[in-house]
Structure 1
Amino acid sequence: MAIVPDILRSWRKPRAVIRERLAGPEREDRALVTLMGASLLLFVAQWPSLSRAAFLDPSVPLDARMGGALMGCLFLVPLFAYALAALSHWIAKALGGQGSGYGARVALFWALLAVSPAVLFQGLIAGFIGPGAGLAAVGVIVAVAFFWIWLSMLAEAERRI
């Protein structure tokens, strides 16, 4: 299972990618590594905007900003992601879904990883251009892409028995 080609395919055929990811035995270690990789990329995506903010307002140094972002991305995002995956699985189950909690976790974690290139681009826009229409447009595109990939994958994961 190659990661980069699967990330690219997730934008075109998310259901096929999640089917392949769920085809083998349940591997919680792979799910966790996927989530931590996505969290690390989310952290890296914030660097340009944190640098810009530290330059514009030196009262909060860059290392303090980076420490806060590190705490949020690598420690809090995984906790919220597990909670959101459980909640989405319960909602899907109430609506007739037949998948497992593992499938819901993999769908969410993989969607986070799949959208990470767009989040990295959004971070560059935030750092080099700053707030404005361009950043807002990229933010909307990233959000729509994430929800489309995630919900497509979740629907496929919950369809499985």
Structure 2
Amino acid sequence: MPVTQDIVETYRRPRQVVRRLYGMGPREDRGILWLMIACFLMFISRLPGLQRQAVQTGSDFQQDTIYAFFTLLMLLPLVFYLIAGILYAVTKLIRRNATGYGARIAVFWGWLAATPIALFYGLLVGLNGLEHPGTTLVGGIWLAVLLWFWISGLAEISKAD
């Protein structure tokens, strides 16, 4: 199934999608690809807000874009490996069947699957600013969906067979 269809399906049945992806066997390249695509999409979502900031404050858009690119595509993947490791340790305490690979798949896939909302949030930041109630609402929805995907995925990959 194409990744875009898997993303749409994740909004309906996140546990089944993660189970199917995990059942495809251990492939670290697939996980890092999902992580890097999600980080790139998050970079794209930051651009409208950076442009708004440049217009309002006179900051250097090009320099801000370079910093955002470096942060989101070089540093954030390392942070996500750390998050996956921490969540693996917590999940392992609760459920003995948890695996490090499964935790990475759940975290990286959840991050990628939540990016459509993050793209909309980034657009709202550029149009309305951070303080607008609609922007705050969409940001909260994005965070809730991300946590839902992570928790569902971690529960699914660590359940007893």
> Shorter-chain TM-score: what band?
over 0.9
User: What residue in structure 2 maps to residue 135 of structure 1?
Assistant: 135
1:29 aligns with 29
2: CA distance, partners of 1:67 / 1:32: 22
* 1:97 CA drift (Å): 3.5
- Give 1:118's aligned amino acid: I
Superposed, 1:81-160 pairs within 5 Å as 81-131=80-130, 132-159=132-159
**AA in 2 matched with 1:128:** L
Q: Return 5+ residue gaps in structure 2 as ranges.
A: none
- Take 1:154 and 1:104, find their aligned partners in 2: how far apart are those partners? 6
Residue 20 of structure 2 aligns with an amino acid whose one-letter code is E
Q: Distance in 1 between matches of 2:142 and 2:148?
A: 10
Q: TM-score, normalised by structure 1?
A: 0.96
Aligned-residue sequence identity (percent) comes to 35
Segments of 4+ in structure 1 off by > 4 A? none
1:5-84 residue pairs with structure 2 within 5 A?
Answer: 5-58=5-58, 60-84=59-83
Q: How many residues align structurally?
A: 160
The one-letter amino acid of 1:73's match is L
